[in-house]
Amino acid sequence: MGNLKIGIPQALLYYEYFPLWKNFLESLGAEVIISGPTTKEILDLGVKSAISEICFPVKVFYGHVMSLKDRVDYLFIPRMVCVEKGAYFCPKFLGLPDMVKSSLSSLPPLIEPTIDIRKSATSFKNSFLAVGKLISNNSKKIYQSFYEAQKSFHLYLQSKENELNPEIININQQYSTKLLQNNMKNPLNIALLGHSYLVYDAFINLNLISKLKKTKINVLTAEMVRKQDIERKLKRLHKPIFWTLSKKIVGSAFYFLEKRIDGIIHLTSFECGEDSMIGELIRQESLKYPTVAYTEFVFDEHTGEAGIDTRTEAFLDMIIRRKRYESNHT
Ligand code: SF4
């Protein structure tokens, strides 16, 4: 056993959990192969394989699976249900392994642990241990690998640094709270909020982060906000949000609104029910903070770069004009 090639599509929850998955699988001797950044070819593969009604990020995920499937012994596609009390993942994540198997052909076997802490307190651990048995028959080593991967993942989340994962280190350099505090002192701070697979996939969002950075804008993201701050901001809602990923987006939007940063761009995907609902929540809240500009960019496979560039320029222009006006009238 050992040296199994396990493929992880670089899409969807890759942007949330890759450090944990990679660390666990590699410490057991597996070779982790990722599909790499999204490209036009990957997108075309996904669009061809998926039904048109499905959300854009899932189409992109299908493309990553197709580009990876012939290079690996297994595909790692967990069924993510629940990782915290009272909140869940979007139904697409609950059915992701089944959707992939029924829509795509000639796939290698899937490793599809169900992550659902409602079943029992130990279910998270047990799912990983079951995966470990596919790679190694050394139970002690599997336990050890799980605890070490979990510990370093927590450290990663806390410190927002990840030396173990050079593939995403560039996007994560901005995750430090210290950096956030420094950013707040600079003149133009724009938060890019949305599901991590939209915010950090440069192909999907048409390079928005680097374009903003080129114009010397401080790009702020939800990952810069501490979990306890997010939870505190969410308390003001009359009804709790029961989607794990959306909680982070809404809580951080409220946080940035209160900090009165210059603007918030909410990145959403076409055909996403969660996005349309939380978009409205954020928009309503933003009305209480007239100095914080707010806009929403919707992405799908037809979104054109020129359209996004024009909207970004207009949004930034509006902020700069307002700032000039304020400085001339105070
Ligand atoms: S949350 Fe929205 S974008 Fe994400 S997988 Fe679900 S439907 Fe698609």
**Shared-domain flag, residues 313 and 253:** yes
**Shared-domain flag, residues 322 and 204:** yes
**Shared-domain flag, residues 163 and 16:** yes
| 245 Cα to the center of ligand 1, angstroms | 10
**Shared-domain flag, residues 286 and 322:** yes
The total number of structural domains in the chain stands at: 2
The parent domain of residue 212 ranges over 176-328
Average pLDDT over residues 110-117: 94
**CB of 201 closer than 6 angstroms to any ligand 1 atom:** no
Handedness of CA 78, 244, 295, 185 (dihedral sign): negative
**CB of 205 closer than 6 angstroms to any ligand 1 atom:** no
How far the first Cα of the chain sits from its last, in Å, is: 71
Strands, E assignment, 127-275: 189-194, 218-220, 263-269
**CB of 196 closer than 6 angstroms to any ligand 1 atom:** no
What does the pLDDT look like over 5-46, one tens digit per residue? 999 999 999 999 999 999 999 999 999 999 999 999 999 999
CA distance 73 to 173: 32
Residue type, 210: S
Structure tokens belonging to residue 167: 């593939």
Domain boundary among 109, 142, 168: 168
Structure tokens belonging to residue 10: 């670089």
Sheet holding 293-299, edge to edge: 218-220, 189-194, 263-269, 293-299
**Shared-domain flag, residues 200 and 275:** yes
Q: Whose CA is nearest to atom 8 of ligand 1?
A: 55
What share of the chain in percent tops pLDDT 70? 90
Residue 220: φ, ψ to 5°: -105, 145
**CB of 248 closer than 6 angstroms to any ligand 1 atom:** no
- Region of poorest pLDDT, from 113-122, 130-139, 253-262: 113-122
What is the DSSP code string of 223-260?
A: GGS-HHHHHHHHTTSSS---BHHHHHHHHHHHHHHHTT
Domain boundary among 168, 187, 203: 168
pTM metric for this prediction: 0.89
* CATH for 108: 3.40.50.11890
CA distance 328 to 112: 59
Residue 21: φ, ψ to 5°: -65, -50
pLDDT value of position 159: 61
